[in-house]
Chain A
Amino acid sequence: MELPESITAYIRNRLSFKQGQAVFEEGSQARHVFIIMQGRVRIRKQTPNGLLTLGVLDPGHVLGETSLFDKAAQQRSATAIAETDVVLGVLDREKLEKELSLISPVQQEILAGLARRIRLNTASAALLAGS
């Protein structure tokens, strides 16, 4: 997928994953924010009753962005698996964090609120599915 320059300017390097490989595991330390350039990534979460798929993401979607906004949650809330062979762009986190700090506090709070909700609904869905 061709991303506009306004987005590719944030890509520090690219990482390739083979089909079935884990991009990151639930519970691990959240370091990178990715953008999907090629392929599809399945997001799933462990529950006592098995794995719950939260969604399959196409190129153009970001991955692992919640840690950017929600400082209280620096662990991956779900596992990301390469559904096909995948190419991801690693976004420049320092640049993102710096620019984020320049956004109005209200907008920062709304972005953080959305990130919290993603985590909350993810956890809540897994809890429910596992009960």
Chain B
Amino acid sequence: MEQVSPVISPVKPENGGTVPAAPQERTLRYKPGDLIIKEGDFGTALYRIRSGTVGVFKELHGEELPLYELGPGDVFGEKVFIDGGSQPRPASAVAKDAVELEAWHYLALRREHQALRPIFRLIALDMVKKLAKISAMHDRVRLNKNHAQNRPAEPDTAEVNLTVHEPSCTLKLAGSEPVGRVWEGLVEYRLTDNPASGMLHATGVDIDKDGMRFDVKLANINNGGHEPGSSIQLAIHLPGGVPVKVHGKITSISRGSLIGHTALRVHFRDISAEAKQRLTAFLAT
């Protein structure tokens, strides 16, 4: 049973565009030339094209470098599904003609994802990860090509090795070695060295056996001793039963996936055998 239902803010266009009056309607419309995603911005939505053509491009030395065009049925912005919008958009997207999009907040998408059977959860996550790898490689080939055009031609070689060496992507699959999972749920925490801060609430977004990441609605995180290295006490509301209590240390602080939010990465320390067992069981389901 879903115990926690984080508030999902309605998806707003990242760069203009008109949102229809009905807030439940996740349709966004753009005119030719409208910028849908700006490279480097932070967004929280994945888009699916209902109609029209979307051009994807990167900027290089002030020039637009077209990557590819997408049409009805295609999705883009899918990286939010894995990074929760914590990473800048890798490329820009522009409406080439009148475009109608369906926008999905990544939390809503993850909820849908959680409802899938494990095999489809696995395949969907695998496709998103593969796509991130292929897109990154595609961009590199494109950037190298562009770079090469500005250099004198190299002598012909008998064999052109185009192999792009990539660190192989290890899909973390719950099994013999439960490693991690995309998760969302309530986390309560207290900064050990600052008891005055009291119990704070946050939304857990990813969890693994070593630590977790969560989003807290605090624009000014510098208040109250949120610093890398700070000790933290957590009560993680995993589904079923009492919260799992662990101690940890904040390892990094970054801009949250929602406006006015901050993302904290915590490394677990001093996990009791019982907490470890529950965490392992949760990661393996």
Contacts and interface: CB of A to CB of B under 8 A. Distances in A.
A62 B173 CA distance: 12
B74 A120 contact: yes
A131 B145 contact: yes
A107 B102 CA distance: 12
B259 interface: no
Nearest to A35: B122
A113 B142 contact: no
A47 B168 contact: no
Contacts, number: 145
Contact of B138 (A61, A66, A112, A125): A125
Interface string A28-68: 00000000000010000001011111111110111001101
Contacts of B173: 1, 3-4, 7, 60
A15 interface: no
A125 B141 contact: yes
B134 A1 contact: no
Contacts of B67: 124
Contacts of A125: 134, 137-138, 141
B157 to A, nearest CB: 10
Which of B78, B126, B128 is most buried by chain A, counting CB atoms within 10 A of its CB? B126
A115 B138 contact: no
B182 interface: no
B48 A113 contact: yes
A62 B163 contact: no
B162 A117 contact: no
In terms of DSSP, what is the predominant structure of the interface of chain B? mixed
Contact of A58 (B48, B128, B168, B284): B168
B163 A99 contact: no
A128 B123 CA distance: 27
A124 B124 CA distance: 21
A13 B175 CA distance: 20
Contact of B176 (A2, A52, A106): A2
Given A50-B161, A116-B74, A111 B122 contact: no
Contact of A117 (B74, B122, B133, B165): B74
B6 interface: no
Interface stretch (B14-22, B33-41, B112-120, B207-215): B112-120
Interface size class of B (residues with CB under 8 A): 35 or more
Which of B70, B134, B135, B160 is most buried by chain A, counting CB atoms within 10 A of its CB? B134
Given A58-B170, A124-B68, A6 B137 contact: no
B166 A112 contact: no
Interface in A54-105: 54-58, 60-62, 65-66, 68, 91, 96, 99-100, 103-104
Interface residues of A, number: 51
Contacts of A113: 48, 73-75
Contacts of A104: 112
A122 interface: yes
A100 B120 contact: yes
Given A49-B160, A55-B130, A122-B134, A6 B117 contact: yes
B122 A62 contact: yes
Which of B123, B124, B175 is most buried by chain A, counting CB atoms within 10 A of its CB? B123
Interface of A: 1-4, 6-7, 10, 40, 47, 49-58, 60-62, 65-66, 68, 91, 96, 99-100, 103-104, 106-107, 109-118, 120-122, 124-125, 128-129, 131
Interface of B: 46, 48, 67-68, 70, 73-76, 78, 104, 109, 112, 116-120, 122-124, 126-128, 130-131, 133-135, 137-138, 141-142, 145, 159-166, 168-171, 173-176, 284
Given A62-B123, A109-B48, 6 more contacts: A1-B173, A1-B175, A7-B122, A60-B173, A100-B120, A129-B162
